[in-house]
Structures are given as C-alpha cells and as structure tokens.
Amino acid sequence: MSEVNIDAGLFYKRLSIFQKQLTANNIPQALIIVGARSDDNTYKKSTVLQNWLLGYEFIHTAIYITDKKCIFITSEGKSKHLKHLTNQKPDLVELWIRTKDVEHNKQLFIKLLETMTKLDSKYGKILKDKYDGKFIDEWNQILNDDNNNNNNNTTNDHALSAVDLAVTVSQALAVKDSEEFNNTKIASNASVVMMDTFVNDMMIIVDDEKKITNSQLTDQIEDKIENNKWYLKTKLGKNLLQSIKDFDPEYLEYCYSPIIQSGGDYDLKPSAVSTDKPLIGEGVILSSIGLRYKSYCSNIARTFLIDPTSEMETNYDFLLQLQKYIVDNLLKDGVPANKVYQDTIDYIKKERPDLVNHFTKNCGWLLGMEFRDSTFILNAKTTDRKLTTGQIISLTIGFNNLSNDKNDKNDKNDNKTNHQKNKQTYALLLTDTIKITDDSSILLTNYSKDRAAISFSFNDDNETQKENNNNNNKRPGLSQTSNTTGLKLESTENTAILKSKLRHENTNADDANSEKLRQEIQIKLHEKRLQEGLARFSKADATDADDFKPIFKKYESYVRESQIPNSVNDLKIHIDYKNQTIILPISGRPVPFHINSYKSGSQNEEGDFTYLRLNFNSPGAGGNVTKKQELPYEDSPDNSFLRSITIRSRDRQRMVDVYKAIQDLKKDSVKREQEKKQMADVITQANLIELKGSRVKKLNNVFIRPTPDTKKIGGVLQIHENGLRYQSQPQSQSNFKNDQKLMYYFPILNIYFSNLVKMN
C-alpha cells in the first residue's frame, strides 16, 4: 500500500453523508469490521463502504462511527495512510494503532466496547458480512466475554444489540456525485465497446461455423482486457474511450465473468454462468457484460436473433416496447421500487398476457460500487425504497422459457428445416445502465438494440429463385439487415467486377472476353505470389492473425543437480547470469526457474516487511493469449506449473537488489530474442570470387538506402564473378553474393534485394 493517497476532503464529505444517514435511521453508532481478504464475494457492503470513504480496502481494520466521531483501529503500517485525516480534524477522527503486543491490542477492543456501551446499547453492523482472520477472532472473543458477563447479571442493562446497517449503507451510497457519475459513464462506455467486440467475434464464429463452447468464447472475451490497448482495435472504442482525457485502462475490471448463452438453455439471473455446451449459431444468443471503472459498475445485455422466426421477432419487438414504457413512465424521481415492477406486470397483462408468466422476477437493481444492491431490487418486495435523482439503475428485463414448437405460418421461408422451425425454447434479455434524473432518464449504455441491428441471417434462403439467378456472385452467409450506430457490418456483395469500373455501357464482346482473361491471369499471379510469401514468412510472425499459434521453446537451466552453484546453500535468492536462472529457496531446497518462465514481478512494502511477488508463465494465463507472445512452455497434462510466488523479508535493500537483478536479466533475455528474430532472415553469404585487373566493372556515386552511416556518402559498386561489392569508404565495404534476385546489365535506377542484408 505504498502508493495509497486518500483524499481528505472527499473523506470528510462522505463521512458527513453517512453520519446524517445514521441519524435519519435512528442508529446511534455503527461498527464496520473487515477481516482477511476474501475472493468469494468482492461486493461485501463493509468493503464497499471502506472503498467509498477512503478509496481503498483496508483489511484487518475496524471503523467506529457516531454522529460526532470516527475511530479507526488498524495496524501501524496502515495507520500512516490515515494519519493526515486526524491531523486536519483531530476532534472528528481518531486513530487507534495496533501493535505486536497482544495485551495492548486486547485493551483497544475493550476500550472500544466500553465506548459503545456507554453511548447506547444499540449499534449498527452489516449482519450478512462474514470475515475470518485473527483480527476478527480477537474482537469476537472480547464481545463474547462481555455477553457472558452480562448474562450473569440479572439487570443486563449494558448488553449490546446489533441492528442491520445494510439499508443505511445503501441509502448513503445511492445518490452519485459528479465524480462517481463520470466513473460510471466510463465503465458504461467500456461495457459497450466490449459488447461490440463480442459481436464482431460472434459473427465471425457463426458465419465460419467454428466449433467453440459458450465458456470458451467467454474466456476469449474476458482475456481481452489483459491487453491495455484492447479498445483501440475498434472504431467504437476509439470514439468512446480514447477520446476521454484522463482514461486509464488499468482501472478497468470485470464486475462478473461475461455470460454467453445459446442453444435453448438460458438463465436470466445475474448469477448465471456460461455453460460448456457448444455455441449454437441459430435461434437466440444472449450476451451479458459488466465492466467497472475505479470500482463503479455498469451492466449491459443484448439478445441476438440468428435466422429468427416471425414469432421471435414479434416477442422481441414487444420487449423493446416494454423497455421504452418503463423508461418513459416509471424510471422517475420519487417512484417506489415496487411500483416499477407492478406497473410493468400490469402493462404486460394488458398488451401481451401470454408473456406474463415468462417475465423476469424483477426489473433490475441499484448499481454503484456494489454491482447488485440486495436492499434495492426493482421487485414487488421492495416497498420501502424510492427512485431518487442521481441514482444509477441496471434496468434488466426479459422473457424466459418461451416455446417455439409451432410451425410459423407467417414465416416466408418454406425451405427451413424442421429443426429450424421447431426450435425448442428460447429467451429474450435486455439490460441497460440508466441514470435517474428530475426529467427524463439518461441512457449510459448506448448500444444498438433495434431488431434490425441485432437480427442476422447467416443462411439466407428467403430469396426467390429469380433473385438467386440475378445474384449468383453474392457470397452466401451474413446478411446485414440494418446499419445502425454501434454495430458495423460489412457488405455481403462480392462481385467479380467493381461497379466503379463499369464506365461504358456499350462494351463489345471482345473487350469483355479480354477483361475476363486478364482477371484470370491476375488471380493466378496473385495465388503464386501468395504461396511465395507463405513460403518465406512463418505464421508466427503474423502477430495480428486470428489463427495465431504459439511457438513452444524448450529450455533448461541445469542438466544435473551438481551444476547448481554452491553459493545457494545459504538458502537465499540467487541470480545465475551464466545459465539465465533465478534460484529460489522453497521448502529448504534451491529450486531453479529459467528466466524464460518468468513473466512479471512486483515489489511493495507493508509494515516492517518487503514483499517480492514473482509471476510465471503457465497455461491459461490470459496475458499470453491476448498479447500473442511466444509461450516458453509446452501445455501438457503431464506438466505442473507454478503461477506465482510471494517472498517477504525484513532486509529491504536485499529485496530491491534481487528484484532489479531479475528485471535486468529479463530485459537481456528479451533483447537477445529480438536480435535473434531480426537476424533470422539474413542470408549467410559465400566467399566473394573477385575479378582482377581491368575486368572489374565499376559504377561510381552509388547510394544505399536506408543510409547505414550518419552522413549520406556515395560509394563504388563493383561487379565480380558471383556477386557485388559496394565500398563507400576505403575502410568500409559490403559484399552481396546470394542476396540479389536479378542482375541487370543495362541502365537502371535502383537495385532491390529479396532478403535482408547484413552490412559489414
């Protein structure tokens, strides 16, 4: 936490908001205790409140808040980041520092308990949040001892009783200020760009009939964020994200793993996951994506119709109509949460009663640092919460378990197979992130959802026989039904002659035949050049190719154990520069790691210790897949991999020196690999067979481009028996034997070499 910088002004402002909310809910005091970090649930309200107040998560920390006081109980290492809060307002903020003295820490909790008991017997806490760790155990022990003592007393006047603080925290965080809104807007833009990226990938997969599962496609989409420049690959990303002045992709995270569903098996709950079933390129494909920026969440979901029936189209049109009704009439300041859901149900009963039982159990939820606020769900049970100007809502509506087992009489496609006509079940889902205002709501996830934009025909058999005859040159496959903003589709036409070249309408038959013959020759030449290029260049060089396959490089540090240096007996970290190896002490033994297995590292300080984290390459690491690097390992079920290791030490300077040595060794290794690649295409030249005397033909004032020297100096080109010699200065000369492709014995302006040339 060496780079922690807490905004004091923002802290005081938000602390005041929370204190006022405590008073409004008649809660005299609140205690928020966070123990050890847990990856099971990143949206615990205790952690969310810490992030909202301080901008960071402080583990093993207690925050006690009343209407006039805020007390932090934390370790000495974390206290230095909070000290400036007490300096500016010592009457408001106090800092109680824990040490290694067990008795001292116990007295801090006893003092806190006495302070709470003296103020009131009631206090607020997040009842659902459960934490583990030594910090929590110590507090629970003090609290249990106090409860036991109170139970032995007949009066029992001082027993503490806890009330749930979840609603109070939700109310304090509900209304977003300008900074929070900007972060949510950036997160929404990122979700839109990622959805557009998914659409592009999905269209290619379906059109090419590639075999892939829903979960595999989810992993591909999820890994894209590992590359900080992922959003620059689409025009939409450049427009929505690159144009933001202070945008930093390092702050982008997923709220949840993207959810991709297809093939008749759908779950519209936010807790759904992508299945391992194959992606079915017909019927309905659902995609839900949520990104957060600086911890502020966004959410978007779209339904994509592939060769849909008219029944699917009708139901989807009603879903759009329903969303418009909710946004225009219900998402307004002062509307109760349960009224939004109930009025939506009434509207469905009036317009499409057959869809009521298929509607989702709610219309969305409150969005913020917590992805789904369980105390503010737009359903029939939330009777005590109202929409307020400044809130951010995830409006999520849909219909599940829709049956399409009847023949579609209105379907114009008579050639569809029975499987296409008699699809089993399907679902429709539509999610957008919306801000509540005094007037009309603001849509933050502005991405195409009109049926014309999300409906695709990949095997368009709806054309008549006459149309097929008139469009023989049209490529079968993707058919663009709409060209709306956010979804860019390529034209499906692939005619043999461009329309822009049809300048004359009265072309005779001979000209047409000549043009056709010329094109056939051009195609053959193109194929020939293509094969020559493929023969010269490896696919591994084409880093932007979709079918990129990594090159596995085998390496080893030591053939036998005796080759390990004797200096490793001290069980310290050693760097073997000769063998390019990092030697780590693990379980009392030196374990070598080749520098090619090392991926990245980090160093930070906390308290009296310095931590060194080393990350290693391993199968499934998203960074390698996204950046398309050559993987220095072979992915095999027989191999075991260490993904990361963290080492701590009190010797700070030693850890700094080790980390610098590892980084330098990695840089040298990468530099050698790059030089090796650059020299891969250089042709090894044979010895030049020189011609003697007057037989040597010379050409003066010859220049080489690019100029190898700092100054542009002309030289002399000599022709010998098996090659050329170029000499620009008496002490500098270069011979070209096997590098020239053709030799011209008539006046020319330039000579081009087919391969790279190494200059002496």
Q: What is the CATH number of the domain that holds 660?
A: 2.30.29.210
Is residue 713, in this structure, part of any structural domain at all? yes
Same domain (yes/no): 138, 188: no
> In this model, does residue 419 exceed pLDDT 50?
no
Tell me the C-alpha to C-alpha distance, in Å, between residue 182 and each of 188, 292, 297. Answer: 10, 12, 11
The predicted-structure confidence for 567-579, as pLDDT tens digits, reads as follows 888 888 989 888 8
Opening angle at CA 280, ends 274 and 282, nearest 5: 130
Burial class from Cβ neighbours inside 10 Å (0-12, 13-18, 19+) for residue 370 reads buried
Q: Give helix 178-207 / helix 214-223 axis angle, nearest 10°.
A: 130
The C-alpha atoms of residue 153 and residue 175 are separated, in whole angstroms, by 45
Quick one: DSSP state of residue 36? Answer: S
Split into its structural domains, the chain has a count of: 4
pLDDT for res 465? 37
Q: Which range among 358-367, 428-437, 448-457, 619-628 shows the weakest confidence by mean pLDDT?
A: 619-628
Bridge-based pairing state of the strands 93-98 and 70-75: parallel
- pLDDT band at 432; cut points 50, 70, 90: very high
> In this model, does residue 695 exceed pLDDT 60?
yes
The average pLDDT across 722-748 equals 61
- The candidate with the shortest Cα–Cα distance to 408, out of 334, 325, 313, 481, is 313
The C-alpha atoms of residue 493 and residue 471 are separated, in whole angstroms, by 9
The average pLDDT across 14-19 equals 96
> In this model, does residue 464 exceed pLDDT 70?
no
Opening angle at CA 144, ends 143 and 147, nearest 5: 90
| DSSP sequence for 43-92 | T-HHHHHHHHHHSS--SSEEEEEESS-EEEEEEHHHHHHHHHHHHH-TTT
Contact 653, 610 (CB under 8 A): no
Contacts of 142 (CB under 8 A, 6+ apart): 106, 109, 110, 113
Same domain (yes/no): 93, 209: no
- The candidate with the shortest Cα–Cα distance to 392, out of 164, 128, 178, is 178
- The candidate with the shortest Cα–Cα distance to 432, out of 395, 404, 400, 461, is 395
Same domain (yes/no): 385, 399: yes
Tell me the C-alpha to C-alpha distance, in Å, between residue 148 and each of 41, 141, 151, 502. Answer: 32, 11, 5, 96
Same domain (yes/no): 395, 299: yes
Opening angle at CA 485, ends 479 and 490, nearest 5: 30
211: helix, strand or coil: coil
- pLDDT band at 605; cut points 50, 70, 90: confident
> In this model, does residue 277 exceed pLDDT 50?
yes
The predicted-structure confidence for 344-390, as pLDDT tens digits, reads as follows 999 999 999 999 999 999 999 999 999 999 999 999 999 999 999 99
pLDDT for res 503? 42
Strand order in the sheet with 291-293: 252-254, 291-293, 296-297
Instruction: Provide the percentage of residues in the chain whose pLDDT is more than 90.
Output: 46
Same domain (yes/no): 160, 273: no
Q: What does the block give as tokens for 714?
A: 């002309």
pLDDT for res 529? 83
- pLDDT band at 746; cut points 50, 70, 90: low
606-611 long-range Cβ contacts below 8 angstroms, 24+ apart:
606/1, 606/2, 606/77, 607/75, 607/76, 607/77, 608/77, 608/650, 609/648, 609/649, 609/650, 610/648, 610/649, 610/650, 610/651, 610/652, 610/655, 610/656, 611/646, 611/647, 611/648
The average pLDDT across 669-674 equals 86
The C-alpha atoms of residue 409 and residue 407 are separated, in whole angstroms, by 6
pLDDT for res 444? 96
pLDDT for res 498? 37
The average pLDDT across 281-306 equals 94
- pLDDT band at 506; cut points 50, 70, 90: very low
Bridge-based pairing state of the strands 589-594 and 598-606: unpaired
Contacts of 452 (CB under 8 A, 6+ apart): 481, 482, 484
Is residue 537, in this structure, part of any structural domain at all? no
> In this model, does residue 539 exceed pLDDT 70?
no
Q: Which range among 137-141, 277-281, 365-369, 530-534 shows the weakest confidence by mean pLDDT?
A: 530-534
CB atoms within 10 A of CB 96: 17
Of 645, 661, 678, the last residue of a domain is: 678
Same domain (yes/no): 191, 104: no
The C-alpha atoms of residue 646 and residue 613 are separated, in whole angstroms, by 4
More confident residue, 189 or 692: 189
> In this model, does residue 597 exceed pLDDT 90?
no
Same domain (yes/no): 434, 315: yes
Domain CATH number, residue 735:
2.30.29.150
Same domain (yes/no): 726, 607: no
Same domain (yes/no): 436, 298: yes
The C-alpha atoms of residue 169 and residue 362 are separated, in whole angstroms, by 22
What is the chain's alpha carbon radius of gyration, rounded to the nearest angstrom?
A: 34
Identify residue 213 by its one-letter amino acid code.
Answer: T
- pLDDT band at 518; cut points 50, 70, 90: confident
The average pLDDT across 611-637 equals 63
Same domain (yes/no): 626, 732: no
> In this model, does residue 478 exceed pLDDT 50?
no
The C-alpha atoms of residue 668 and residue 134 are separated, in whole angstroms, by 44
Is residue 530, in this structure, part of any structural domain at all? no
The C-alpha atoms of residue 268 and residue 284 are separated, in whole angstroms, by 13
Is residue 505, in this structure, part of any structural domain at all? no
> In this model, does residue 739 exceed pLDDT 80?
no
Please identify which residue in the block is written with the tokens 């509307």: 335
pLDDT for res 37? 82
Is residue 142, in this structure, part of any structural domain at all? yes
Contact 436, 388 (CB under 8 A): yes
> In this model, does residue 554 exceed pLDDT 80?
no
- pLDDT band at 749; cut points 50, 70, 90: low
pLDDT for res 486? 33
Quick one: DSSP state of residue 476? Answer: S
More confident residue, 364 or 498: 364
- pLDDT band at 75; cut points 50, 70, 90: very high
| DSSP sequence for 401-452 | EEE--S--TT---TT--HHHHT--EEEEEEEEEEE--SSS-EES-----SHH
> In this model, does residue 471 exceed pLDDT 70?
no
- pLDDT band at 621; cut points 50, 70, 90: low
Cis peptide before 585 (omega within 30 of 0): no
Same domain (yes/no): 597, 658: yes
> In this model, does residue 553 exceed pLDDT 80?
no
> In this model, does residue 685 exceed pLDDT 80?
no
The C-alpha atoms of residue 230 and residue 233 are separated, in whole angstroms, by 6
More confident residue, 570 or 411: 570
> In this model, does residue 504 exceed pLDDT 50?
no
CB atoms within 10 A of CB 129: 20
pLDDT for res 281? 84
Contact 291, 261 (CB under 8 A): no
Is residue 532, in this structure, part of any structural domain at all? no
Same domain (yes/no): 694, 630: no
Domain CATH number, residue 47:
3.40.350.10
- The candidate with the shortest Cα–Cα distance to 359, out of 371, 370, 351, is 351
- The candidate with the shortest Cα–Cα distance to 658, out of 570, 580, 587, 583, is 583
Strand order in the sheet with 93-98: 93-98, 70-75, 61-66, 29-34, 122-125, 161-164
> In this model, does residue 542 exceed pLDDT 70?
no
Of 154, 174, 194, the last residue of a domain is: 174
Q: Tell me how many helices (H) and strands (E) the chain has.
A: 17, 27
Burial class from Cβ neighbours inside 10 Å (0-12, 13-18, 19+) for residue 304 reads buried
Contact 163, 204 (CB under 8 A): no
Is residue 511, in this structure, part of any structural domain at all? no
> In this model, does residue 176 exceed pLDDT 80?
yes
Is residue 531, in this structure, part of any structural domain at all? no
Task: Give residue 715's domain range.
Answer: 681-760
> In this model, does residue 225 exceed pLDDT 60?
yes
Contact 288, 281 (CB under 8 A): no
pLDDT for res 304? 95
Of 425, 455, 470, the last residue of a domain is: 470
Domain CATH number, residue 392:
3.90.230.10
- pLDDT band at 303; cut points 50, 70, 90: very high
